[in-house]
Structure 1
Amino acid sequence: MSISPDQLTDPAVRAFVTAVNAGDRAAVFAVLTPDAAMSDDGSDRDVQQWTDKEIFSSEGHMDIESQSDDGRALVVNYRNSTWGEMRTAWRFVVDGAGRISRFETGQA
């Protein structure tokens, strides 16, 4: 059974997941700090290039399986038109202003 994005504990993570699932590029970048960083399977990636490829051009969607660490760690069934569906872990670093400064994803 999945957790609805509106039930996520952390407001920034909730906004990120909601924006990803809506395909709303502006809303995703509104919740990220201007210098946000990310990694995929342990390798740092360019946030703009990665989100374009893995989320926006491939219809990325997050179905939340569980959350921990006050809503900043998720296990997600992530799917897109490139890779299909996979079980992934996501971790978020949220700054004092409530914006995501880093996120990491990889196989769960």
Structure 2
Amino acid sequence: MSIAPGKLSDPAVAAFVAAVNSHDRQAFFDLLTPDATMSDDGSERDLKEWTDREIFDSNGHMDVQTESDGGRALVVGYRNDAWGEMRTLWRFTVTQGGKVSRFETGQA
């Protein structure tokens, strides 16, 4: 069973998941701080290049299975056209102003 984005505890993380799932690039980048960073499986990545390849150009979709850490850590069934589906862990750093300044993802 999955958790709908609107039911997630952290509003910024909920908006992040909703933007990914609706393939709304503008909404996605509006949620991030200008200097946001990310990593994939422990390696720092170029955020724009990675999100274009892994989310927007490949129809990425997050099916949230569980949340913890006040909604800032998610276990997700993540799928895209490039890799199929895999179980992933996502962790978010959210600023006091409600923007995502960092996210980390990797296999769960």
Bin for the TM-score computed over the shorter chain = over 0.9
Q: TM-score, normalized by length of structure 1?
A: 0.99
What residue identity is the alignment partner of 1:15? A
Coordinate RMSD, CA, aligned: 0.3
What residue identity is the alignment partner of 1:53? R
SS of equivalent residue, structure 1 residue 36: strand
**Map of 1:53 onto structure 2:** 53
**Which 5+ residue runs of structure 1 have no aligned equivalent?**
none
**Map of 1:18 onto structure 2:** 18
How many residues end up aligned between the 2 structures? 108
CA distance in 2, matches of 1:61, 1:87: 12
**Map of 1:69 onto structure 2:** 69
**Which 5+ residue runs of structure 2 have no aligned equivalent?**
none
Which of structure 1's runs of 4+ aligned residues deviate more than 4 A? none
Q: 1:67, CA displacement in angstroms?
A: 0.2
CA distance in 2, matches of 1:82, 1:64: 19
CA distance in 2, matches of 1:73, 1:104: 9
Q: TM-score, normalized by length of structure 2?
A: 0.99
**Map of 1:7 onto structure 2:** 7
Identity, % of aligned positions: 68
